[in-house]
Structure 1
Amino acid sequence: MVHVILTHEVKDFFAWKKVYEEGEPLRTKSGIKMTGVYTSVDNPNQVTLTGECASAELVYRFMSQPELKAAMQAAGVISAPDMKVLNKV
């Protein structure tokens, strides 16, 4: 099991959140379980997500899907994601 922390900036958090919630089936199909959604106290449009997945390979495969890239664009993501894939020790 790996843990994922992903941060990116969006144009409008509430518009992004709607598209994010609609993406649950794609995440489930890909084996990604999200465990948290956070916004920065300094910038409410800077979003950090946490999640879990069986392997790093599945995470990277999920992140490279054209459907995800299209959804992120539709959601108003305006910065490249900063992603960390971690092993719990």
Structure 2
Amino acid sequence: MTVALILHRVADYDAWRKVYDSVGDMQKEAGVTQEAVHRMVDDPDNVLVIHHFADADTAKAFFGRPDLREAMERGGVQGQPRVELFE
């Protein structure tokens, strides 16, 4: 199993969350087996997303998807997300 930790800042959490929730089917189709979203206590527009995958290759393919990048843009992700993969 591979766990992906994705840390990024968003322009507006509520707007971002609507887009995030709208791509749940895409996440499942791409191999996300579990997911969780957390907000920084003192900075609620600083978001940590945790995704679980069967393996690292599936995770890497997911983060290379153009539709994921487009969804992140629509959601107001600011700057380059920090993505870390763990096994």
Q: TM-score scaled by structure 1?
A: 0.92
Q: Which deviations, in whole Å up to 9, do the C-alpha atoms of 1:43-81 show, x marking residues without a partner?
A: 100000112101111111111111011100000000211
TM superposition outliers: structure 1 runs of 4+ over 2 Å: none
Which structure 2 segments of 5+ residues have no match? none
SS in 2 for 1:44: strand
Counterpart position of 1:75:
75
Q: CA deviation at 1:42?
A: 1.9
SS in 2 for 1:31: coil
**Letter paired with 1:56:** A
Which structure 1 segments of 5+ residues have no match? none
Question: Take 1:23 and 1:14, find their aligned partners in 2: how far apart are those partners?
Answer: 15
SS in 2 for 1:85: strand
Question: Take 2:33 and 2:74, find their aligned partners in 1: how far apart are those partners?
Answer: 21
Q: TM-score scaled by structure 2?
A: 0.94
Question: Take 1:58 and 1:80, find their aligned partners in 2: how far apart are those partners?
Answer: 21
Give me the CA root mean square deviation: 0.9
Counterpart position of 2:8:
8
Q: How many residues align?
A: 87
Higher strand share: 2
